[in-house]
Structure 1
Amino acid sequence: MRILEFWTGSEALPITGFVIRAIIVYIYIFLMVKILGQRSMGSIDPLDFIFGVVIGDIVGEPLSSGDLPLGGPLASAGLIAAFHFTLTYTALKTPRFRRVIEDEPLIVIEKGKILHDQLKKAKVTIESLLMDLRLRDASDLNEVDYAILEANGQISVIKKSANQALTPTDMNMDPKDKGYPKVIIEDGKIIHANLKELGSIDWLKEELLKRGHRNPHEIFLLTIDETSGWYISPKQQV
């Protein structure tokens, strides 16, 4: 193997050439990430995602095609990294520019009420929202004060004050397990498969009437847990 074949490329590049290329690319990307800072690793927002995809495509091809020179892709990757760093730094220093390239946090639950218009805007389904809440130990929607869709696509949860610090264990209480809340009504539609485990449609309408709701179609989300705890979020009035 010629000395610089790993750099200039060759159709008959031996395995050692690919190994050297892999080492160079790894060190290069490692140094690039260190220079850009931890933000690119710890928070995957749309800008970071685009950067990762483009860099991976640029430096990945020379690792699979030995006949391509290595200098050009590395130079291109360096230019993309510099551009990414410039955008990130500008967004950090200029709030107006930050709003252009970064999404603002989006409130999807406000004061315990689900804002289904915001869910539609963010293209988040009820199933996805409930999954994210369960992952954050907030399966009981009655305990949620605010839920915010962050710029990196994750949902953060702020519980009501009464549900934050003091727990039943601290009070030497032994509450019943609430279990898995069943979705009974979703976007005005009754989930009959879940309802039949609890009661009839007439029973549901009667219980809703007791809680001030005449029509199930007025409900955006209704869940009932194993302790008969209800959560009701009515549809927003247009």
Structure 2
Amino acid sequence: MFEFWTGAEELPIYGFLIRAVIVYVYVFLLIKILGQRSMMAVSPIDFLFGVIIGDVVGEPLADGSTELGGPLAAASLIGGLHLFLSYYALKLPRFRRVIEDEPLILVEKGKILHEEMRKAKVTVEALLMDLRIQSAIDLSEVDYAILESNGQISVIKKSKFDALTPTDMGQNPDTKGYPKVVIQDGRIIHANLRKFADLTWLKNTLSNYGYNDAKEVFLMTVDDTEKVFISPMKTRQSV
């Protein structure tokens, strides 16, 4: 009856399905406990954690004779160790340098640092590719390029090539804040709407934009300046 947990030489298909559900829920909860950091840009310690966890919990899904309890216990230990190292890396700057590499400056004041690139094992082609991704096609516009600890290259352009901001033009626009989702997939998100308005305001706003009902709207957001964005339901259907 509990072959899905203890394992068997000829584990039935339903046993593999049950194991898959257990492993999925287990890994999901493990990631939630560790926090969103593990799901962001991958650092070396996060990469190591992902590889080991994948190998440990993946074996019972491929080999039905393997007991499920052992791999899950091992994964719990690895998750606890990962959380322990991440916590102390946040608390102790010196220990952080053992866990995470320091950022390396590859371009400084417009000049490419060949020794740093050799140290980081970054080719010119890789550097140019990352600069293009950062919309820094013209090398003469680049002031600094830094290889971050997660392997990504960040770019700081020279001040004269920065985009013009409202402050540069002597303007002081209102803060837009975080747009609130008021309608999603034709359904009103009442919890968000109550924060700044009511159903009467929503009905009048929809009417001003040519909609008779919330069911006609796929997505509607409102920011702190009361700027409204509406995407109609028919657009999604036509796609």
How far 1:101 moved relative to its partner?
A: 1.1
Matched with 1:39 is 37
- How many equivalent pairs are there? 167
Instruction: Work out the CA distance in 2 between the residues paired with 1:34 and 1:43.
Output: 16
Matched with 1:68 is 66
Matched with 1:146 is 144
Query: Which structure 2 residues correspond to residues 84-103 of structure 1 after superposition, within 5 A?
Result: 84-103=82-101
Instruction: Work out the CA distance in 1 between the residues paired with 2:164 and 2:85.
Output: 43
> Alignment partner for residue 135 of structure 1, among 133, 139, 161?
133
Instruction: Work out the CA distance in 1 between the residues paired with 2:162 and 2:59.
Output: 50
Instruction: Work out the CA distance in 2 between the residues paired with 1:71 and 1:164.
Output: 56
Instruction: Work out the CA distance in 2 between the residues paired with 1:145 and 1:45.
Output: 25
Instruction: Work out the CA distance in 1 between the residues paired with 2:164 and 2:35.
Output: 38
Deviations 1:42-97 (A, max 9, x none): 02000000000000000001000000100000000000000000000000010010
Relative to the length of structure 1, the TM-score reads 0.69
Matched with 1:156 is 154
Instruction: Work out the CA distance in 1 between the residues paired with 2:160 and 2:20.
Output: 55
> Alignment partner for residue 126 of structure 1, among 124, 127, 130?
124
How far 1:166 moved relative to its partner?
A: 2.6
Instruction: Work out the CA distance in 2 between the residues paired with 1:73 and 1:33.
Output: 16
Matched with 2:223 is none
Matched with 1:104 is 102
Query: Which structure 2 residues correspond to residues 1-238 of structure 1 after superposition, within 5 A?
Result: 3-166=1-164
Instruction: Work out the CA distance in 1 between the residues paired with 2:112 and 2:10.
Output: 61
Instruction: Work out the CA distance in 2 between the residues paired with 1:117 and 1:29.
Output: 41
Relative to the length of structure 2, the TM-score reads 0.68
Instruction: Work out the CA distance in 2 between the residues paired with 1:128 and 1:21.
Output: 41
Secondary structure at the counterpart of residue 124 of structure 1: coil
Amino acid at match of 1:39: R
Residue identity over aligned pairs, in percent, reads 69
Amino acid at match of 1:123: K
Secondary structure at the counterpart of residue 154 of structure 2: strand
How far 1:14 moved relative to its partner?
A: 0.6
Instruction: Work out the CA distance in 1 between the residues paired with 2:22 and 2:88.
Output: 30
How far 1:151 moved relative to its partner?
A: 0.4
RMSD over aligned CA atoms reads 1.5
